[in-house]
Amino acid sequence: MKKTLSVLLAVFMILTMLGGTVVMAEETAPVEIYTPEDLLKMADDPDGSFILMADLDMTGIAWKALDFSGTLDGNGHAILNLTLTQMGDLKPNSCDGNKKLYETAYFGLFGTLVNAEVKNLKLINVRARVDIDEPCFIGGLAGYAENATITDCTVVGTLELRAFDRMFGVGGVVGYGSGKVKNCTVDVTLITTDTDAKTKDEQFLGGVYATGFMDVRNCNVTIDGYTSEHGYVHNGGIVGMYMEYPLGVGKKGYVTGNHVEGRITFFENNDDRRAYCKAFVGEALVDYYILDDNTQNFQKEEWKDFTEELRPEMCAIPEYTESVIAGNCNTYGYTQYTCEICGYSYRDHYTLFTHTVSVWTEQKAATLETEGLELGYCDGCGIEQTRAIPVIESEPETEPATTAPETEPQETVKPQNTPKKQNHLPLIIAIVIVVGCSVALVILLVQESKRKRRRKKKTGKYNR
């Protein structure tokens, strides 16, 4: 009997574990992101797996760079108007061409992206203007990358770094690091300004990344770069400096199949001249390195006047006129700012897709207590939209509202957030298994003790 009991116990434990595994398997499904608040919550799970379920407008939200080692699937969605205001917590070393290490601050959607994957994500109008007196790198997606894989992403924005201390740079996608960037589209304005003329810094700027050891394949880069430097300049349409130490030692590097459009305007105020500025890779410090099959329409423009900081807008007091370009079913809206003095023009304040619905059908009537619901289809693209009908304010009139209520017709109708589907089935299965086994065990234990008692009665005398 003891044997039977221990077998039962073992079965019970295995089933309990199985139940747990079912629940855990369920938990590995990516966490769905619908709102800016959801995106902020990524900080709570730096190893997690996430997927965007909607475009997000980050206007008005201060962004602290995330330190991340998980997976983010943008699912083709965009993050609009992300402003990089605060560096990440982690400050891994960056390394210059002389193998010197610097504790470094990193800004980006991610501060550090280590053993992580980001795919199908659009960053539209990502912005930074960092003024700092320590080594620093900025990248639209990540300040620092280590063994990171970035595929099918888009980065559009303006990243500016005013730096003081020895080692710094800006890249459209990544600041400093290692890994892979593939099939990405980049359209960026990048600015680095050395705010201390006395020290000779190592400055880096690249359309995809500033410096490090990352493969870049099949990317389409549009760059407008500006560098004002009193040290050593490393600028490239794709990579500022491709360097194997310490992240790529013994590895083979690739910069292949990319296209670069644009221009880098720079000065290098330094007798010990480097002034690296090239269409693809500014400087390469690598043993094995394949630079092939890239095309360009790139210009470098070097200035010999070091008195004025180089910026896209050179007017001391620019005067901008604004024109708002509305979005529609599949384009984002934005505001175009044009300087009346010099003609320089840029875009900011992007807006989400907007859909127009002219026929609404009531799904649920509003009552005195609860909102009603209307359903409609976009005139342009047919996508389903819903909107709330406000609660009825006074006593209900005799005839109920039939079609469109007289409330102000909303131009922009946000799709109602469908509640996140939560599949409780595995949890229920697990509970049923555990409860069932427990009941069976209890019954068996009771039967067993009954049997023992019976046996005791029969054989009690001899046992004593």
In the complex, which residues of this chain contact Zn ion (CB under 5 A)?
315, 318, 329, 339, 341-342, 344, 355, 378, 380-381
- Residue number with CB closer to Zn ion (218 or 338): 338
**Looking at beta carbons, which pairs linking 316-325 to residues 24 or more positions away fall under 8 Å?**
318/342, 318/344
* Rounded least distance, CB 326 to Zn ion, Å: 13
For residues 106 and 112, what is the distance between their CA atoms, to the nearest angstrom? 7
* Rounded least distance, CB 384 to Zn ion, Å: 10
- Residue number with CB closer to Zn ion (16 or 336): 336
DSSP of 72-103: EE-TT-EEES-EEEE--S---EEE-TT--EEE
Backbone CA torsion sign across 379, 380, 384, 385:
negative
Cβ atoms of residues 66 and 110 within 8 Å: yes
- Residue number with CB closer to Zn ion (102 or 353): 353
* Rounded least distance, CB 332 to Zn ion, Å: 13
* Rounded least distance, CB 347 to Zn ion, Å: 16
* Rounded least distance, CB 214 to Zn ion, Å: 35
* Half-sphere exposure of residue 144: CA atoms within 13 angstroms, side-chain side: 28
Distance of CA 249 to the CA centre of its chain: 28
For residues 380 and 330, what is the distance between their CA atoms, to the nearest angstrom? 10
- Residue number with CB closer to Zn ion (27 or 301): 301
- Residue number with CB closer to Zn ion (136 or 378): 378
CA dihedral 23, 24, 27, 29 (to 10 degrees): -100
* Rounded least distance, CB 320 to Zn ion, Å: 8
* Rounded least distance, CB 407 to Zn ion, Å: 21
Cα–Cα distances in angstroms (integers) from residue 113 to residues 147, 239, 460, in the given order: 8, 18, 72
- Residue number with CB closer to Zn ion (234 or 355): 355
- Residue number with CB closer to Zn ion (10 or 341): 341
Cα–Cα distances in angstroms (integers) from residue 322 to residues 58, 268, 327, 337, 345, in the given order: 21, 35, 16, 5, 10
Distance of CA 148 to the CA centre of its chain: 13
- Exposure string for 17-51, b = 16+ CB within 10 A, e = fewer: eebeebbeeeeeebbebbebebbeebeeebebebb
Residue with tokens 């423009």: 301
For residues 277 and 420, what is the distance between their CA atoms, to the nearest angstrom? 49
CA dihedral 147, 151, 157, 159 (to 10 degrees): 10
Neighbours of 233 (CB within 10 A): 30
- Residue number with CB closer to Zn ion (230 or 355): 355
Q: DSSP assignment, residue 245?
A: T
- Residue number with CB closer to Zn ion (218 or 386): 386
Neighbours of 321 (CB within 10 A): 10
Count of positions (residues) in the chain: 464
* Rounded least distance, CB 390 to Zn ion, Å: 24
* Rounded least distance, CB 263 to Zn ion, Å: 17
* Rounded least distance, CB 408 to Zn ion, Å: 20
- Residue number with CB closer to Zn ion (62 or 317): 317
* Rounded least distance, CB 207 to Zn ion, Å: 24
Amino acid in position 428: I
- Residue number with CB closer to Zn ion (249 or 342): 342
- Residue number with CB closer to Zn ion (306 or 320): 320
Cβ atoms of residues 324 and 333 within 8 Å: yes
* Rounded least distance, CB 34 to Zn ion, Å: 19
Cβ atoms of residues 87 and 143 within 8 Å: yes
